[in-house]
Structure 1
Amino acid sequence: MRRYEPQTLEPRWQERWERMGAHSTPEASDKPKFYALEMFPYPSGEGLHMGHVRNYSIGDVVARFKRMNGYRVLHPMGADAFGLPAENAAIQRGVNPRQWTESNMERIREEQARMGISYDWDRYVGTCQPDYYRFTQWLFLLFYERGLAYRKKAAVNWCPDCATVLANEQVEDGKCWRCDSEVEKKELEQWFLRITDYADALLEGLESLPKWPEKVKAMQRNWIGRSEGATITFTIPELDDTPVSVFTTRPDTLYGVTYMVLAPEHPLVPRLIQRKESEETIRDFIDAMAKESELSRTGSDVEKVGHFTGAYAKHPLTGENIPIWVANYVLMEVGTGAVMGVPAHDERDFAFAQKYDLPIRQVVRPQEGDDEAAELETAYVEDGVLIHSGPFDGLDNRKAIRAIADHLKEHGRGGATVSYRLRDWLFSRQRYWGCPIPILYCDNCGVVPVPKEELPVRLPEDVVFDGKSNPLTTSEQFATASCPSCGGVARRETDTMDTFIDSSWYFLRYTDPHQEDKPFAAEQANRWMPVDFYIGGVEHAVLHLLYSRFVTKVLHDAGMLEADEPFQHYFPQGMVLKDGSKMSKSKGNVVSPQDIIERYGADTARLFILFAAPPDRELEWSDSGVEGSYRFLTRVWRMVQNHVSLFENRQPPQPNDDAAKELHRLVHQTVKKATVDIHERYQFNTAISGIMELVNGIYAYPAEADRGTLAQAIETVVLLLAPFAPHITEELWEQMGNTDSVHDQSWPAYDEAALVLDEVEIAVQINGKVRHKAVVPSGADRKAIEEHVMGDEKVRKLVNGKTVHKVIVVPGKLVNIVAK
């Protein structure tokens, strides 16, 4: 008997698949399409981890299953190759990020190939390759032409010692990750994309995605954060009635305002505190807040801290002077950077007012109450009736929301407004390893886009990686260019694009990866889009998916794409844990996929990762579980080896004897279960469990029972197992005498009639107590069941000497005999 040696057979089949082009994407076909996609990896120096193995294995099972069910399948792979980690690695090693990234890309491709994933490698996309980022730049210009890309000042993290902008990931406890200097907030010109223009479309589009998990759609809704309310305009008398707008969802509480709070970063603050007693204190406070993260300022357990500016705002309806404060819990990036304090009806404002002894004025009372303000021990946030609200007294507060908004609009002091938590996409990064922004600055012509025919704007090689500044500014050759409009000297934009843009359209490039004139041809993209099944971690459920949806909608509106949503079905796989924690080098609990493959083979690694837990749940790593998966595959191997002769002179199944009938039923039962579990439930673990039960049934099958039924059962095991363990099933399929690939076969069909049992076991009760189990013909009527049971020798003994008064029959379940 040949031994199961995955280390030998797996590389042989991988080489044969590549030589035959087994995983190439069929273009001209009348078969229905299916686009299977896993999130592509970042090519770090650490290589693949078991989370990747889980992600790719899920995608491969679905892709192979769909091929066997008659679909033409697109199943591509690539690398999300730009980004800060590669640039940091380059600085540490004194090399160009390109060298570091491309070597990692090649190694990861080799690791993916060793897993036997059915990728069409001819469609490979690396986002750092010029033939890809050329069209990332092309898309930026499309956004610019459509008024969706613009430039404005924005606050960034600035390290004064390194003289460079830091990403949020590079700021640790308010200090530079490299030199430990205090990080400052600095305003620089930045590029933005107007994603807020698509806020409503992004919200509405979620309703067309029934195959997305509700928790993911809720995360996106919360991120977009649509709120209906009113904009209210206060004025500041000492600044010549300069207007200050606030947005609130509770304009009904306007008469309860007792103070206003501005964000420390608000542009009016320096003017308000100038030459005031509090000026120095507030400037120190502003500097301190510039070093704090959003979470450290706005968390629910963070103490609210503020300072009175010495200035007042004028109430838009009462004319009252309202003291203006600055406080940590108001952010410039949220709303207008100003809020009105209504402590009687907002818990946060209530706590702030109590701390600083500010007035608390009740203007909404319960429906059943009087018009006198109560002594509040906490903020009253329920619905009710307005009091102390001028002409709006007695009005239901929900009706007052609209009434006061209309009144503000009528008097030019605000009005009903829809606000969003979503901010425009801060798009530019001050670093080298990203896609260059194709913009020039000319003293004569101003901002000038690089002509599309001159793309790509390539990253230069003559740069200095010393961690002291943006490396692109060190290349004179890159920074200086000719203006395409006037021919004069121009300065090239040295910011690069946020790497989220690279992963926001890669799925479209896969549909037409060799297109040289544009990002993709509409005909090709429309043939495959939207992606039918997209797999990736839930940590990407907000920004990556949101940006991808945004880009897709813009391309749809530009007439480049029929689809207006990129992913029809998003499936977030669970994390892989070891010792109860997510695998990480720092915790010393990492398991290398390559070590598992070298010891047990890729099929074992795939089978374990799919069998150990439902794919959308966390999976606890188990060495014994891996060994168990290997033993099962070895058992399948022996099963075929022991019965190879059955396939040399194959006999048709004739399930006439009891054992053959039972195995025949088990075959069809297993096919149905696997089909439903893969196609409808995506519960691969239970599908594998069903296949294991069928293998057990085959091992228990009597030697004298029908051989044709046995051959059919073994063949079914190999076919059902093929998407999960592609190498061993390919080898066994060949040993069974087949010359074509197991992966080119049709998925087995099941016969509902074969699932019906010839006989069923029912309970027999005597006076309500179960005393016996009887086997009766399946489908027998009540009379036949009663005759069969009453004729049973055991039942006759149980009722011997008694008078049977009644026999109650519940077909398929029980018979109750009433006897005394």
Structure 2
Amino acid sequence: MNIEDSSSGAELTQPQRYNPAEIEPKWQARWDADATLYAAEAHDSGKPKYYCLEMLPYPSGALHIGHVRNYAIGDALARHMWMRGYNVLHPMGWDAFGLPAENAALKNGVPPREWTFANIAAMKKQFQRLGMGFDWTTEVTTCLPEYYRWNQWFFLKMFEKGLAYRKKSKVNWCPECCTVLANEQVIGGRCWRHEDTVVELRDLTQWFLRITKYADELLEGLDKLEGWPEKVRTMQRNWIGRSEGALIDFAVDQGIGGREEGVEGKITVFTTRVDTIFGATSVQLAPEHAVSKAFALEDDKLRVQIEQLLAEQQKARESDALGAIEKHGVNTGRFAVNPFNGERVPIWVANYILADYGTGAIMSVPAHDERDFEFARKYGLEVRRVIAPADASVDATKEKQEQNTGILRSAQDDGAEDVVGELPYLAEDEAVLIDSGKWTGLGCVEAQEKMAAFAKVKGFGTPTVTYRLKDWGVSRQRYWGTPIPMVYCDRCSPEEPLPVAESELPIFLPEQIDITQTNGSPLGRVAEFVNAKCPKCGGAARRETDTMDTFVDSSWYFYRYTDAKNSKAPFDSDKANYWFPIDQYIGGVEHAILHLIYSRFWTKVMRDLGLVKNDEPAQRLFTQGMVIKDGAKMSKSKGNVVSPDDMIARYGADATRMYALFAAPPDRDLEWQEEGVAGISRFLSKVYRLTTKYSGAARAAAGGSRGGESSAKEQALLRRLHQTIAKITQDFDGRWHFNTSISSIMILVNEITANEAAMDAGEISPAAVAEVFRGLILLLAPFAPFFAAEMWEEIGGEGVVFRTVWPEVNEELARDEEIEIPVQVNGKLVTVVKVAAGSDEATVKAEALADPKVIARIEGKTVVKVIVVPGKLVNLVVK
């Protein structure tokens, strides 16, 4: 229905009512009909490439709003880059192996395969209903043999290179999962999947990948990852934990104790401060150290005491309080000999020393280590200072040392705290050795080098580098995973496992087996799987019955996306080298020392195998904030999950997606509020009304020139349009504050609404109206694709809206005065932000909360209230 406007003659269309329940399925059906709509173009397309990737999900059964936020961020970016003229790869797949499928099978009586594929179908349908622009022609499902055969191929290559090996060692055992865990999967002494389950240490023979071979390269590479969050890089640095020092052997004094079975005659300690060894006044062992156990065998009283220390340690692990454990120890009555000065020092067992950290033994230097100092004060051990400031006199230092030693031996001495407070002395630079034999007077750094070299020459030590990072244990005693392609032959290789021939791959995972028993690997009970031929002698052999850690699957899946249908190789190297590194990777910070470090390792292995040229998998990484509901992270276990299906049914997919991007900066936590989705729905209804009202004018004037002299109102409206284009373009190029991007679109719409009368009266030309609505719809396209597609068709736009060129900024029109707004936190000035003159309260607030200085000031605090005085200041009240 058209309405003739008496004053301007412009045709207006009767406004219609926004109904996402009709619009969104209509466009999804059209998009589904074109399998190439989201597909990347050929390598020789002439366009610059852009690989946009979100971490693939585990097919747990249903998406929740936390997933929606993550994938809405990536989808908005991919659509924007299409509009900027890039050849975009935006794939999706399924991290489909794993323990939850087995647990669900045990609970519901549904085979893991059936459960997994039903979930994939359901979640894929949700993704499509949400309008996510994934290229499904490259879909990867890790539990299919066409994928996991390459896990096996990589394993064989690593075995060939000495990177995959089998050994007996202490491993982490989750009694609830009934399987081994990698060190990275133990969080605060508990299973990463079960927050209430304490992980046990067991001695088992397992398969490992030698990630430590790449420890230095993994560490050094972090400095080049400037596009990664510093928090992630710091977490990886700390986890790798490189320490330069020396291994020193303290002989066990065989004259007094130390004759027990199992004691080899020495205790090896690792120290980063060998320059302090003349200040060592005891050696301390972990309760589970082999020497501790040997001593306990001959002394029942000592055994009970050591067991008590171990119990205290395990309890501290359970509560994630090991770092703050109250330090207890027991004197074994045995002695070790300091190899540098021949001094006998007592051997203690302490609850804060870990068997799996370093060598499980330390030399205790109380004067120069905080933990050792605390322990020495508690048990009255000698504190001997051997490091002093370079400018201090030796005599004065000796005098102070005598005071300290005497006070520590007599805890009742008056004034003890005044003197004791000067210790421990931890300095290294600008410090020298005292009372340290022939090394006295040397600077600490020089002494460390010379003393380590001396130990090596004398045969009781060696300079060395240690890492907190341990080799990756990949054996899992569960069914739903990749079979390890190794066999055991008692005839020709009784000691060592043998690799299967590549021609035998894939080693298929049996589909129908009994997994109700959880004692041992389920595959070990399937005779047709276990029984095999020896690849060497052709005789009877047994297959390995452990499966691979599912983090193997996710360590290289993004390479498979580049060539997902390849049956002859994991992927074509030319294709991978075109797309890699990933331009933007998006996912949770919780994977910093799991998936993200494993994938970096896997990339370096593939580079050394000649498969790829890049050293790192992703050039830029973005870690989104969590979605909070009822004060806790949204998760099924907490019962606070919000289904996107419910939101879509009430408000539509576009409103649901837009709110997930609007409610908070994407790197900050978001408190989910359904009324916020309703508000976005009302906003889209407003845009729908305006667009359908002026669609006739926009169609008629499409492509026309404004010409002539513009009115002041027309100039103001066009200025707002181009300021909005500039703002959103800047947000995509830089800081990704999509909340302020959407806020700026709202401001533009308010400006359009305020000028309705002027447009109706002809004060704003039809060409300007067409330019404004065309720009508005293109700006909305990355955030609300269904809505934008409908409105694009409504105004007569040609082609697919998110394949249309991104609107270009008219710099002259976009130029406007900016004003400076002081931002305070609890009344104290923190920074000043610049906003366009006339910005509304929401924009000013969003800019203030997005400022890096403000973010740093309020980190870890709760924002109680945000007070905005328009045009003057912002004050955040925090506690």
Task: Please give the TM-score of this superposition, normalised by the length of structure 2.
Answer: 0.82
Radius of gyration: which is bigger?
Answer: 1
Q: Does 1:450 align with 2:506?
A: no
The aligned counterpart of 2:877 is none
From 727, 730, 752, give the equivalent of 2:786.
727
Q: What does 1:595-744 align with in structure 2 at a 5 Å threshold? A: 595-650=646-701, 651-654=704-707, 656-701=710-755, 702-703=758-759, 704-705=762-763, 706-744=765-803
CA contact (8 A) 1:50 1:592 kept: yes
The aligned counterpart of 1:520 is 571
CA positional deviation for 1:66? 0.5
* CA–CA separation in structure 2 for the residues paired with 1:520 and 1:10: 36
CA contact (8 A) 1:298 1:328 kept: no
Deviations 1:708-766 (A, max 9, x none): 11110011000111011000110111111234211120001112122346x999xxxxx
CA positional deviation for 1:304? 1.9
* CA–CA separation in structure 1 for the residues paired with 2:806 and 2:211: 44
Size of the alignment, in residue pairs?
757
The aligned counterpart of 1:80 is 95
* CA–CA separation in structure 1 for the residues paired with 2:108 and 2:740: 47
The aligned counterpart of 2:68 is 53
Deviations 1:464-503 (A, max 9, x none): 2224322122211112211111111111111111111111
Q: What does 1:584-595 align with in structure 2 at a 5 Å threshold? A: 584-595=635-646
Structure 1 pair 493/285, CA: closer, same or farther in 2 (3 Å)? farther
* CA–CA separation in structure 2 for the residues paired with 1:280 and 1:370: 41
Paired AA for residue 734 in structure 1: E
RMSD: 2.7
* CA–CA separation in structure 1 for the residues paired with 2:218 and 2:335: 39
The aligned counterpart of 2:249 is 233
CA positional deviation for 1:406? 2.5
Structure 1 pair 513/379, CA: closer, same or farther in 2 (3 Å)? same
Q: Does 1:148 align with 2:166?
A: no
From 553, 564, 584, give the equivalent of 1:502.
553
Deviations 1:32-62 (A, max 9, x none): 11000001111113x1111110110000011
CA contact (8 A) 1:272 1:310 kept: no
CA positional deviation for 1:568? 0.5
Structure 1 pair 680/408, CA: closer, same or farther in 2 (3 Å)? same
The aligned counterpart of 1:391 is 438
CA positional deviation for 1:166? 5.9
* CA–CA separation in structure 2 for the residues paired with 1:205 and 1:679: 25
What percent of counterpart residues are identical? 49
The aligned counterpart of 1:335 is 358
CA contact (8 A) 1:234 1:316 kept: yes
The aligned counterpart of 1:801 is none
The aligned counterpart of 1:534 is 585
Paired AA for residue 248 in structure 2: I
CA positional deviation for 1:547? 0.5
From 1, 5, 12, give the equivalent of 2:26.
12
Structure 1 pair 19/593, CA: closer, same or farther in 2 (3 Å)? same
From 407, 426, 431, give the equivalent of 2:473.
426
* CA–CA separation in structure 1 for the residues paired with 2:191 and 2:693: 67
Paired AA for residue 39 in structure 1: M
Q: Does 1:130 align with 2:153?
A: no
Structure 1 pair 667/352, CA: closer, same or farther in 2 (3 Å)? same
Structure 1 pair 329/540, CA: closer, same or farther in 2 (3 Å)? same
Structure 1 pair 185/656, CA: closer, same or farther in 2 (3 Å)? closer
Q: Does 1:745 align with 2:804?
A: yes
The aligned counterpart of 2:270 is 247
The aligned counterpart of 2:425 is 380
* CA–CA separation in structure 2 for the residues paired with 1:397 and 1:329: 27
From 626, 632, 649, give the equivalent of 1:581.
632
CA contact (8 A) 2:181 2:473 kept: no
Deviations 1:756-811 (A, max 9, x none): 46x999xxxxxxxxxxxxxxxxxxxxxxxxxxxxxxxxxxxxxxxxxxxxxxxxxx
* CA–CA separation in structure 1 for the residues paired with 2:18 and 2:246: 71
* CA–CA separation in structure 2 for the residues paired with 1:556 and 1:691: 45
Paired AA for residue 621 in structure 2: Y
Paired AA for residue 312 in structure 1: F
Paired AA for residue 24 in structure 1: A
416-425 vs 272-281, greater mean Cα deviation: 272-281
Deviations 1:258-293 (A, max 9, x none): 111222332333333332354532563487479557
CA positional deviation for 1:176? 15
CA positional deviation for 1:690? 1.5
The aligned counterpart of 1:816 is none
Which 5+ residue runs of structure 1 have no aligned equivalent?
Answer: 762-820
CA positional deviation for 1:234? 1.7
CA contact (8 A) 2:705 2:767 kept: yes
585-594 vs 134-143, greater mean Cα deviation: 585-594
Structure 1 pair 587/171, CA: closer, same or farther in 2 (3 Å)? closer
* CA–CA separation in structure 2 for the residues paired with 1:569 and 1:725: 25
Structure 1 pair 173/415, CA: closer, same or farther in 2 (3 Å)? closer
Deviations 1:492-526 (A, max 9, x none): 11111111111110111111100101111101111
* CA–CA separation in structure 2 for the residues paired with 1:583 and 1:177: 15
CA contact (8 A) 1:170 1:177 kept: no
Secondary structure at the residue paired with 1:457? coil
The aligned counterpart of 1:303 is 326
* CA–CA separation in structure 2 for the residues paired with 1:177 and 1:39: 18
Structure 1 pair 388/648, CA: closer, same or farther in 2 (3 Å)? closer
The aligned counterpart of 1:263 is 286
CA contact (8 A) 2:38 2:133 kept: yes
The aligned counterpart of 1:803 is none
Structure 1 pair 460/723, CA: closer, same or farther in 2 (3 Å)? same
CA positional deviation for 1:540? 1.1
CA contact (8 A) 1:184 1:290 kept: no
459-468 vs 702-711, greater mean Cα deviation: 459-468
The aligned counterpart of 1:564 is 615
The aligned counterpart of 2:376 is 353
CA contact (8 A) 2:282 2:364 kept: yes
CA contact (8 A) 1:512 1:521 kept: yes
Q: Does 1:108 align with 2:123?
A: yes
Deviations 1:105-152 (A, max 9, x none): 111111111110100011111111111111111111111111111111
Paired AA for residue 317 in structure 1: F
Paired AA for residue 706 in structure 2: P
Secondary structure at the residue paired with 1:649? helix
Secondary structure at the residue paired with 1:613? coil
Secondary structure at the residue paired with 1:325? strand
The aligned counterpart of 2:822 is none
* CA–CA separation in structure 2 for the residues paired with 1:746 and 1:145: 50
Task: Please give the TM-score of this superposition, normalised by the length of structure 1.
Answer: 0.88
